[in-house]
Copies of this chain bind each other. A is one copy, B any other.
Amino acid sequence: MNASARPTGPFVAACSDVLGAAHVLTDPRDTAPFLTDWRRRYTGEACAVLLPADTQQVAAAVRLAREYRVAIVPQGGNTGLAGGATPDTSGAQAVVSLRRLNRIRDVDPHNNTITVEAGVVLAEIQARAEAEQRLFALSLAAEGSCMIGGNLSTNAGGTGVLRYGNTRELCLGLEVVTPQGEIWDGLRALRKDNTGYDLRDLYIGAEGTLGIITAAVMKLHPAPVARVTALAGLASPHAALDFLAMAQRHAGALLTGFELMSDFSLRLVGRHFGQMRYPFAEPHAQTVLLELSDSESEEHARTLFERLMEEAIGKGLVEDAVVAENLAQSQAFWDLREHIPLAQAAEGLNIKQDISVPISSIGRFIDETDALIAKTAPGARMVTFGHLGDGNLHYNVQAPEGVDPEQFLADYQKRINTLVYEQVHAHRGSISAEHGLGQLKVDEAMRYKSPVEVRLMQAIKAALDPENLMNPGKVVRVPGRSGEKAS
The verdict on A436 contacting B157 (CB below 8 Å), with A360-B108, A463-B460 known, is no
Pairwise interchain contact A452-B184, C-beta atoms closer than 8 A: yes
Determine the distance from Cα of A169 to Cα of B197 in the docked complex, in whole angstroms: 15
Interface: A405 (CB within 8 A): no
A161 contact set on B, CB distance < 8 A: 191-192
Interface: A345 (CB within 8 A): no
Interface: A449 (CB within 8 A): yes
Choose the segment among A36-44, A87-95, A123-131, A423-431 that binds chain B (4+ C-beta atoms closer than 8 Å): A423-431
The verdict on A295 contacting B252 (CB below 8 Å), with A191-B392, A195-B441 known, is yes
Interface: A224 (CB within 8 A): yes
Interface: A86 (CB within 8 A): no
Choose the segment among A66-74, A198-206, A322-330 that binds chain B (4+ C-beta atoms closer than 8 Å): A198-206
A221 contact set on B, CB distance < 8 A: 252
Chain B residue nearest to A169 (CB atoms) is: B169
Pairwise interchain contact B192-A222, C-beta atoms closer than 8 A: no
Interface: A464 (CB within 8 A): yes
A248 contact set on B, CB distance < 8 A: 112, 222
A429 contact set on B, CB distance < 8 A: 190
A253 CB contact (under 8 Å) in B197, B253, B359, B430: B253
Pairwise interchain contact A445-B295, C-beta atoms closer than 8 A: no
Pairwise interchain contact B111-A191, C-beta atoms closer than 8 A: no
Contact with B along A447-471 (1 / 0, CB 8 A): 0011011001101111110000000
A435 contact set on B, CB distance < 8 A: 194
Determine the distance from Cα of A296 to Cα of B252 in the docked complex, in whole angstroms: 9
Q: How far is the CB of A235 from chain B (nearest CB, A)?
A: 17
Q: How far is the CB of A301 from chain B (nearest CB, A)?
A: 11
A168 contact set on B, CB distance < 8 A: 198
Interface members, chain A 170-195 (any B CB < 8 Å): 178, 182-195
The verdict on A190 contacting B391 (CB below 8 Å), with A196-B475, A198-B204, A452-B178 known, is yes
Pairwise interchain contact A192-B245, C-beta atoms closer than 8 A: no
A224 contact set on B, CB distance < 8 A: 252
Chain B residue nearest to A437 (CB atoms) is: B195
Pairwise interchain contact B445-A193, C-beta atoms closer than 8 A: no
Interface: A358 (CB within 8 A): yes
Pairwise interchain contact B194-A456, C-beta atoms closer than 8 A: no
Interface: A109 (CB within 8 A): yes
Interface: A432 (CB within 8 A): yes
Chain B residue nearest to A252 (CB atoms) is: B295
A194 CB contact (under 8 Å) in B155, B191, B449, B462: B155
Interface: A154 (CB within 8 A): yes
Pairwise interchain contact A190-B459, C-beta atoms closer than 8 A: no
Interface: A100 (CB within 8 A): no
A157 CB contact (under 8 Å) in B154, B192, B196, B358: B192
Interface: A250 (CB within 8 A): yes
A295 CB contact (under 8 Å) in B249, B389, B436, B459: B249
A453 contact set on B, CB distance < 8 A: 184, 186, 196, 199
A459 contact set on B, CB distance < 8 A: 463-464
15 residue pairs bridging A and B, Cβ less than 8 Å apart? A109-B245, A110-B245, A110-B360, A157-B192, A165-B169, A166-B191, A188-B430, A193-B433, A194-B434, A194-B436, A195-B436, A196-B445, A198-B206, A222-B245, A253-B253
